[in-house]
Amino acid sequence: MLQQLPALVTLLNVLLLAATVFAVGRARGKYGIKAPATSGHEGFERAYRVQMNTIEQTVLFLPTLWLAAMHGFAGWAGIAGLVWIVGRVWYFAAYLADPARRGGGFATGMLAWLVVLVLAAIGVVRALLVS
């Protein structure tokens, strides 16, 4: 079961990205921000920044998750990945409510990603040394 956690985390990440898309669309309607504008009301700008930051973090997170999983750390990477998802959801909710409160979720996500990065690095270096 632990071997499947990276796949579950990837699916949850896709759902999180979809939620940010919907949040931006909802904010566009609520605040009257016409596409392609990316500014105009603080509420919209918060939703947009959450979406962009989540995309930026995903670009770092997913490759390292799968490198760690492919090199012998699927279970640990999956557990850290679930923590990353929790951190990103926390960041999402906090940023929309009050940007000053986003730090805890951001820090949780970054620490979880650093764990995955270390696992990926250990796995890749170990594989290089064995081959």
Mean pLDDT rounded to a whole number for the chain: 97
pLDDT of residue 39: 95
Identify residue 31 by its one-letter amino acid code: Y
Segment 69-77 shows an average pLDDT of 98
How far apart are alpha carbons 130 and 29 in whole angstroms? 56
CA distances for 10 relative to 7, 35, 94, 118, angstroms: 5, 29, 22, 19
Cut 0.85: pTM above it: yes
pLDDT band with cut points at 50, 70 and 90 for residue 131: confident
Q: Is the pLDDT of residue 1 over 90?
A: no
Taking only the tens place, the pLDDT of each residue in 35-68 is 999 999 999 999 999 999 999 999 999 999 999 9
Half-sphere exposure of 51 (CA within 13 A, CB side): 18
pLDDT of residue 29: 97
pLDDT of residue 31: 98
DSSP-assigned letter for residue 3: G
